[in-house]
Amino acid sequence: MSALAAHLYALIRNEGPITVARYMAEALGHPQLGYYATRDPFGRGGDFITAPEISQMFGELIGLWCAEMWRRLGRPRPIRLVEFGPGRGTLMADALRAIGQAMPELRTALAVHLIETSPALRARQTGSLRQVEAQWHDRWDEVPEGPVLAIANEFVDALPVHQLVRQGGQWRERLVGLAADGATLRFELSADAPAATAFLPAPLAAAAGALPDGSVVEVRPAALEMARALGTRIAAEDGAALIVDYGHAPSAPGDTLQAVRGHRFVDVLADPGEADLTAHVDFQAFAEAARASGAAAWGPVAQGRFLRALGIETRAATLLKGARPEQAKAIEQAMRRLIEPPEMGSLFKVLALSRAASPPPPGFESAP
């Protein structure tokens, strides 16, 4: 049994069954034993691959998006370029390179802030960003005040979710407890109505009576807190944010909790701390929390549509000019993977925040 599994068993023996949100928080984020604290999970030899690891074009285009937003903000100095959960630091490195080429004034005006709790990944980011003066933080509220451009790619999906289950006309919470053998984890339901119903999105709370028994709804207080914090900062001090992730546009019921290990789906309870655990992002809930804090929210639009609008095909054509045949094939494959449905092109979506009453950001011109 892994040290993290032993820790969870002891926790449940002492405190009783824990929420799915607590299970996720411990499995992913335990400061010494958690999944992210103990490894670099990306790439072919790891558990999963993310867009910036597929192609440099992803981070470059996001860098250009930031440059255009900075221009529209009236070029404030300094400006904080903040990334939530930077992984290997690849997106930030690619974005900074593109910014340096397209808008060198922004490159000198910006201060890089990375929000990362994993020591292993902080070390990795230090390596990728050797030429860059960056500051690391555990939490968003440590980022100094002032205008911000914030980016989060595949960050929100890792924030803990509560799973609320409809049963006999009531809400119950899905819990992780110990099976009778004392050596396996299993799901159970809370006896009482859970406190997490306070986070139900309004449309789902209103429709609860019509949901059949067994329906699962996921709520993510940490994402709502992030949306409110970003919305408040943008409303008060100006800026913009880009949230990229997989998930649904309107809030909808569904059990989307998943575990991935070695590029395969595995049992969510089988190996805590050894597999990545995520759940889909509720973009509507995120957007509404940001709007309620005074910012404008745009989209989400499909990642494929966003990257096309930003000119990924033109960027690929430029890269193809200098490429050898095998490189050319890799560039084309990477672009298709980033923009074509059903995978990254449509399951992945992009949400933007900007100040209220501003025009649509690049890529969101015809978005709701």
One residue of 24, 81, 114, 121 binding ligand SAH per CB under 6 A: 121
Shortest distance, position 150 Cβ to ligand SAH, whole Å: 12
Name the one range near ligand SAH by CB under 6 A: 113-121, 161-169, 193-201, 359-367.
113-121
Q: Measured from the CB atom, is 117 or 232 closer to ligand SAH?
A: 117
Burial (CB count within 10 angstroms: exposed 0-12, middle 13-18, buried 19+), residue 272: buried
Give yes or no for a cis peptide into 342 (omega within 30° of 0).
Answer: yes
263 φ/ψ sector (left φ>0, alpha ψ -120 to 50, else beta): left
CB of 276 to ligand SAH, least distance (A): 8
289 CB-side CA count, 13 A: 22
User: Per-residue x/- marks for ligand SAH, 334-353, CB under 6 A?
Assistant: --------------------
Measured from the CB atom, the residue of 155 and 306 that comes closer to ligand SAH is 155
Residue 109, sorted as left (phi over 0), alpha (psi -120 to 50) or beta, turns out to be: alpha
| Contact mark string toward ligand SAH, 131..170, x via CB under 6 A | ----------------------xxx--x------------
Q: How are beta strands 79-84 and 110-115 bridged, if at all? A: parallel
Applying CB under 6 A, the site for ligand SAH has a residue count of 19
User: Between 86 and 304, whose beta carbon lies closer to ligand SAH?
Assistant: 86
Stretch that binds ligand SAH, among 48-56, 95-103, 180-188, 209-217 (CB under 6 A): 48-56
Of the candidate spans 85-93, 142-150, 188-196, 303-311, the one that interacts with ligand SAH by CB under 6 A turns out to be 85-93
* 29 belongs to the binding site for ligand SAH (CB under 6 A): yes
CB atoms within 10 A of CB 178: 17
Q: Which stretch binds ligand SAH (CB under 6 A): 10-18, 68-76, 110-118, 186-194?
A: 110-118
Listed in sequence order, the residues at least 6 apart from 187 whose beta carbon sits closer than 8 Å to its beta carbon are: 174, 175, 176, 177, 269
DSSP-derived letter for residue 270 is T
DSSP per residue, 244-262: EEEEESS-------EEEET
Do the Cβ atoms of 250 and 284 come closer than 8 Å? yes
CB of 322 to ligand SAH, least distance (A): 26
Which 8-state DSSP code applies to residue 142? Answer: G
Question: Please, what is the minimum distance in Å from the beta carbon of residue 118 to ligand SAH?
Answer: 4
Out of 38, 50, 190, 284, the only residue in the binding site for ligand SAH (CB under 6 A) is 50
Tell me: does residue 36 bind ligand SAH (CB under 6 A). yes
If the CB atoms of residues 42 and 70 are measured against ligand SAH, the closer one turns out to be: 42
Written as six digits, the tokens of 122 are: 């902080």
DSSP helix/strand/coil, 130: coil
User: CB of 342: closest distance to ligand SAH in angstroms?
Assistant: 19
Q: DSSP alpha helices (H): ranges in 20-75?
A: 20-29, 51-54, 56-72
Sole binder of ligand SAH in the list 18, 27, 52, 257 (CB under 6 A): 52
For residue 261, give both structure tokens: 């290990």
Task: For residue 113, list its beta bridge partners.
Answer: 82, 135
- Binding footprint of ligand SAH on the chain (CB under 6 A): 29, 36, 42, 50, 52-53, 85-87, 91, 115-118, 121, 153-155, 158
